[in-house]
Amino acid sequence: MFAASRCADECASKPAPDMLSELMEELGANAVDTLVIGDTVHDLQMAAHAGVQAVAVSHGAHPRGDLVALAPLACLANIDELTLWLARNA
């Protein structure tokens, strides 16, 4: 299901861009070809620090208001909304 993964034990943790930049390097993707999907402000900040666009989901650890404040492309309420959004936009 996943081509690669990074966790905080392997490189600098969020909100540093390292996990993202390492994944992009390993998989040969540019920042403009990449989209981050996350439930926390740390995910959105990591994306911003790497110059990558992001989509938030509000069913996780952080409140919707905090996520929206960081201007993700969308803030989706659940997995079904995320699936639909990705099918249409990603």
Partner 1 sequence: MRNYTLLSAELLTGRTHQIRVHLNHLGFPIAVTTNTATSSSTGDWRSRPEAHVPARGRTGVRASAFRESPETACAASRRPVALSRFAGKLMRYPLLVFDWDGTLIDSAPAIVACIQAACRDLGLTVPDEARASHVIGLGLKDALSYAIPACPRTTTAGWWSRTAGTFSRATPGSRSFREPKRCLQASKLAAHSRHRHRKEPRGPRAGAG
Q: Cα separation of 32 and 25, whole Å?
A: 13
Report in angstroms how near the CB of residue 52 gets to partner 1 at its nearest.
8
- The DSSP output letter for 33 is G
> What is the sign of the dihedral through the CA atoms of 17, 27, 32 and 35?
negative
Report in angstroms how near the CB of residue 11 gets to partner 1 at its nearest.
10
Binding site for partner 1 (CB under 8 A): 1-8, 12-14, 19-20, 23-24, 27-30, 32-40, 42-43, 46, 52-53, 57, 59-62, 73, 79-80, 82-83, 86-90
